[in-house]
Amino acid sequence: MDATTAPAARAWQTVLERIEDDLLEGRLTPGDRLPPERELAVRLGVGRSSVREALRVLEVLGLVRTGTGSGPTSGAIIIATPRGGMSALLRLQVAAHGFPLDDVVRTRLVLESAVVEAVAADPARSTDDAHAVLDAMDAADLTPGEFLALDAQLHLALAEASGNVVIAAMMAGLRTAIESYVQAGADRIADWEATAGRLRSEHAAILSAVDAGDAASARTLIHDHITGYYAEAGLART
Amino acid sequence: MDATTAPAARAWQTVLERIEDDLLEGRLTPGDRLPPERELAVRLGVGRSSVREALRVLEVLGLVRTGTGSGPTSGAIIIATPRGGMSALLRLQVAAHGFPLDDVVRTRLVLESAVVEAVAADPARSTDDAHAVLDAMDAADLTPGEFLALDAQLHLALAEASGNVVIAAMMAGLRTAIESYVQAGADRIADWEATAGRLRSEHAAILSAVDAGDAASARTLIHDHITGYYAEAGLART
DNA sequence: CATGCTACTGTGGTCAGACCACACGAGGAG
DNA sequence: CTCCTCGTGTGGTCTGACCACAGTAGCATG
């Protein structure tokens, strides 16, 4: 409730809360440099190792970027790139069985449906990036791994087209979390070329529906597209 | 692509990847205890501080719980409680302006709509927990803070009723991320009692629609419920 | 005077060692 | 047999030291 006055039993939490508070109050914004670790330690009355533990957390969460040496790129710099942190969180939770694979897939369905609906409903949203990836996927000599990487890129491009960075970050993370399972699933598919061809045409159909502003069709198509692949790859529950 | 053989320039990443690999391969599961920090350091050929930085990250992400002393509760124990990590990530990203408030609210709309729809469509889902919170909110002497805490609890109970832990964790995190803004918004509402009364009846209507299996109505009601509050609290963009 | 090299300085990255607080458990004192 | 005390192993923290790295100031050289 009141993080600013909480005692924060552990020293590294003190550092974390202090930085979060600076962020909230606008004393720190992306692009700013944090004081040197040694100075921060003295200023907050903790050891340098405690400062480092807090910075490590912030780094993994995508809030700071650290650099050695001197100059403007050195030191701990505030950034705001949530992709990495979201991916790490989801990936590890899936690995630790905190997030069942089925729930991850179902969440993808919810978010992707909302994405295509939003993009289809807003004529101002450009799907140029998605089309570019779609064209790249037409190359005939793609390995399954390359194809799936482009597939992830395509879905991400759609999410970004929706303009919602939270959803885009979550979708990137969800995809990363199940990346190894998707890859393993591809190996189980007997006729990969046939599947790839089907996925290509499904992608094209989805984009067409989105571009046409047909939100309802886009929802249905993306839903079937995703559930279809997971069923074929032997990842679906039912 | 291949995390297991990646060089991992930094020592703490080595530790992190090793533990992630153990999780993926099933060598570590929730409930297991990690080796002592000192032993882990020797075994991986890194310093103890590097091990601690990795453990700190895992702790914040909700993957391990550390305890001092001896006995079965001491040491670093694998858990899988993603709530805390999701909340921390979203809260800090909002604080750092990586996640615009509007996108957080819009994502809430997407997820909550999907939740009520799923719960309404599945008669097996129990809304008993949500009803219990609803009853608690009828108390007349609630402060705005207490009321909003129960409100968060109610929405979370619905998410849990959907059975999707990923969505439940995300919703908990999204709510936490904007908690301070929600509180601040409540202070700007002139006639709080009137608003609280309206929220109560809206909650009741949503639960009724869900219990009746009316997914479409539930979607509309929850959508208006959320957008209504944000508009009244002066948090909405438009 | 211009140029290029060198040493210095400040930064994060890592390690080693020490000490503390804590909780359990073994062993002795009663 | 019971209770207390001390030992032991754990995480939590601090300190100091050293390294790698990048920029920079200043000197040597042309």
For B1-51, what is each residue's pLDDT tens digit? 444 445 568 999 999 999 999 999 999 999 999 999 999 999 999 999 999
- The answer to whether residue A88 neighbours chain B at the CB level (below 8 Å) is yes
pLDDT score of B161 more than 90: yes
Q: What does the pLDDT read at residue A104?
A: 97
A8: confidence class by pLDDT, cuts 50, 70, 90: low
Q: Which residues of B touch A111 (CB under 8 A)?
A: 110
Protein-contacted positions of strand D (CB under 7 Å): 7-17, 20-24
pLDDT score of B162 more than 50: yes
Q: How many CB pairs under 8 A join A and B?
A: 157
Contacts of B21 (CB under 8 A, 6+ apart): B3, B4
Q: Which residues of B touch A63 (CB under 8 A)?
A: 92-93, 96, 98
A201: confidence class by pLDDT, cuts 50, 70, 90: very high
Please name the residue that has the structure tokens 């179902």.
A106
List of E strands, chain B: 64-67, 75-78
Nearest to A57 among B28, B60, B174 (CB): B60
Cβ distance B159 to B173 under 8 Å? no
Q: What does the pLDDT read at residue B237?
A: 64
The token duo for A124 is 């101002």
Q: What does the pLDDT read at residue A76?
A: 97
Q: What does the pLDDT read at residue A3?
A: 40
Q: What does the pLDDT read at residue B7?
A: 55
Nucleotide minimizing C1' to CA distance for residue B33: D10
Query: Integer distance in angstroms from CA A70 to C1' C8?
Result: 13
Q: What does the pLDDT read at residue A140?
A: 83
Nearest to A20 among B63, B92, B145 (CB): B92
Burial-class residue A217 by CB neighbours within 10 Å (0-12, 13-18, 19+).
middle
Residue of A nearest to B3 (CA): A180
**Which sign, positive or negative, has the C-alpha torsion A206, B111, A99, B161?**
negative
Please name the residue that has the structure tokens 């999410």.
A159
pLDDT score of A5 more than 50: no
Q: Which residues of B touch A53 (CB under 8 A)?
A: 52-53, 56
Q: What does the pLDDT read at residue A6?
A: 53
Mean pLDDT of A129-143: 94
Contacts of A145 (CB under 8 A, 6+ apart): A183, A186, B1
Q: What angle do CA B121, B161, A177 make, to 5 degrees?
A: 100
Asked if B107's CB is within 8 angstroms of A167's CB, the reply is yes
Residue of A nearest to B109 (CA): A114
Q: What does the pLDDT read at residue B115?
A: 97
Please count the residues of chain A. 238
The mean-pLDDT minimum among A106-120, A175-189, B10-24 falls in A175-189
Cβ distance B210 to B120 under 8 Å? yes
Average pLDDT, rounded, for chain A: 94
Q: What does the pLDDT read at residue A2?
A: 42
Q: What does the pLDDT read at residue A234?
A: 80
B154 by DSSP, 3-state: which?
helix
Mean pLDDT of B153-181: 97
Protein-contacted positions of strand C (CB under 7 Å): 9-18, 21-25
Nearest to B61 among A92, A166, A174 (CB): A92
Average pLDDT, rounded, for chain B: 94
Q: What does the pLDDT read at residue B1?
A: 44
A163 by DSSP, 3-state: which?
coil
